[in-house]
Structure 1
Amino acid sequence: MTTQLTLTALPGIPLVEPGDDLSTVILEAYARVELTPADGDVLIVAQKVVSKAENRYAHLRTIEPSAPALDLAGHTRTDPRLTELILRESREVLRQRPGVIIVEHQLGYVHANAGIDRSNIFSDDDDDPRVLLLPADPDTSARILRDALHERCAADIAVIINDSAGRAWRNGVIGFAIGSAGIEPLRDMIGQPDMFGRALERTQIAIADELAAAGSLLMGQASEATPVVLARGIHFNTSELGSTRLIRPKHEDLFR
């Protein structure tokens, strides 16, 4: 049996503004390449366009740094207003060095600067720059988008919301899932036989993360403007469990 996975960056995605309907944006992109939404499609959607549609902007001029933010900013040489936002979005500061603050985000993900970003964000006031926060609940965002697509085209489409992050012991960023709907994010293979009949003891496959990383190759990190990637050919189990299953419990995390 031949196994094939195809990835297509849906073209012509416009700059997303607060309140935009992402299901409309995506279906118009399908039509642009003469593709019809189909059962089993997986849409990998960049976190940034989800956050923009949900108006997850913050204006630094409106942020009043707290004493802890001022102290941390002094150590990390970061804008105290940005540091305050990072603390508000985080449960705990894990590591720090000049320019970078590694935190456990309120969502549970370990992330640099709480995922707050300034890249590819238009601001018409240099004295009051805008920054973009992660979606408040990415799993819910993914589910809402999946439901809207199903209502409009009747296809059973899974949705993954991805972001980029660094990894312990490895250079470079990689895409990973911060939200998902309609796809089993973590496939448990424990107990299944390998090629020689030995039972697998620890193997769990991060399906959503692997697809998020694959999608990131086409999305890029700079001016590519391709924030939605269609994956076809992947065999997956449908699930309403969100991507929080991918987060390792703190007591099992050997890096903390």
Structure 2
Amino acid sequence: MQILPVDGLPEFAPGVSIAREIAAVGEVQPGDILVVTSKIVSKAEGRFLPASEKARALAAETVRVVAAIPGGGASAIVENRLGLVMAAAGIDESNVEGERLLLLPQDPDASARAIAEEVERLTGCLVGVLISDTAGRPWRVGQTDMAIGAARVQVIDDVRGTTDANGKPLAVTQRCIGDELAAAADLVKGKATGVPVAIVRGLAHYVGVGFTAGARSIVRDPEQDLFRLGTAEAIAEGRRRRERAPGDDA
């Protein structure tokens, strides 16, 4: 596997074709996976707001407040309209010229599909596209990139029902290929290098038109997500589920 930075891209503005710019400077090959920073997608889609509208924007993008420090302080952690749990709903002010905010793309999966289809029209190469964004993680220091949009990429490798190297059954393992690739690509894109796109090469078996589940499919179903609850609620819900479990004599 290789991860190659795509250098020489311009500053993106509303209406600029990301696919055309990548095709012009990148040596795209069939089976490549293009990992595109969400910020340039948002810029190309004109997702700007004045900085003075931050409170209104945060309210509009927020579905649920997950955690906040009473009286202010650090940014609130919220679930946004895309189902992502992020600080300040993913609204960004860094690397944005002027007193402006940048919202996440309206529909990252649709944006990824459009880029993949246009790259194929321009180059004749069938590629996968991931749109990545940076987020923190519970219980872990630091941030990493994750996939918030995907097209023509297998984002989950579900190996439940198979066995490990010792012949033991795998009951819960689902490798999140989308997030692993997004994080790996960030190692060559960086945060302040002006390189918003990377090409992951050598993993063509994860690329194809048959992979239609976008990054939204990575978001865990609320009914299966104990982590969305507070500690007391999670313990209580776990007990309720145990009591409902058939055949449990404990």
TM-score, scaled to structure 1: 0.84
Aligned to 1:41: 32
User: For residues 45-124 of structure 1, what are the structure 2 equivalents within 5 Å?
Assistant: 45-61=36-52, 63=53, 82-97=54-69, 98-123=73-98
The structure 1 segments of at least 4 consecutive aligned residues displaced by more than 3 Å after TM superposition are none
8 Å Cα contact 2:160/2:170 also seen in 1: yes
Deviation at 1:133, TM superposition (A): 0.1
Aligned to 2:234: none
- What amino acid sits opposite 1:212 in the alignment? A
The reply on whether 1:157 has 2:148 as its aligned counterpart is no
Aligned to 1:136: 106
- What amino acid sits opposite 1:251 in the alignment? E
Give secondary structure in 2 for the equivalent of 1:210. helix
Aligned to 1:180: 150
8 Å Cα contact 2:42/2:105 also seen in 1: yes
8 Å Cα contact 2:128/2:207 also seen in 1: no
* d(CA) in 2 for partners of 1:228, 1:53: 14
Deviation at 1:38, TM superposition (A): 1.8
Deviation at 1:90, TM superposition (A): 1.3
* d(CA) in 1 for partners of 2:225, 2:108: 23
Deviation at 1:17, TM superposition (A): 0.7
Aligned to 2:197: 228
Deviation at 1:27, TM superposition (A): 1.0
* d(CA) in 1 for partners of 2:51, 2:142: 28
Unaligned 5+ segments in structure 2 are: 229-250
* d(CA) in 2 for partners of 1:216, 1:248: 23
Give secondary structure in 1 for the equivalent of 2:226. coil
Give secondary structure in 1 for the equivalent of 2:30. coil
Deviation at 1:215, TM superposition (A): 0.9
1:244 to 187, 197, 216: 216
* d(CA) in 1 for partners of 2:31, 2:81: 31
Unaligned 5+ segments in structure 1 are: 64-81, 124-128
Give secondary structure in 1 for the equivalent of 2:76. strand
Aligned to 1:67: none
Aligned to 1:204: 174
Deviation at 1:237, TM superposition (A): 5.1
Aligned to 1:18: 14
Give secondary structure in 2 for the equivalent of 1:100. coil
Is the alpha carbon distance of 1:23 and 1:237 closer, same or farther for their aligned partners in structure 2, counting shifts above 3 Å? Answer: closer
* d(CA) in 2 for partners of 1:144, 1:27: 14
Aligned to 2:235: none
8 Å Cα contact 2:78/2:87 also seen in 1: yes
Deviation at 1:42, TM superposition (A): 0.2
Deviation at 1:249, TM superposition (A): 1.5
RMSD: 1.1
Question: What is the aligned length?
Answer: 222
The reply on whether 1:145 has 2:115 as its aligned counterpart is yes
How high is the sequence identity, in percent, across the aligned residues? 37
- What amino acid sits opposite 1:25 in the alignment? E
TM-score, scaled to structure 2: 0.86
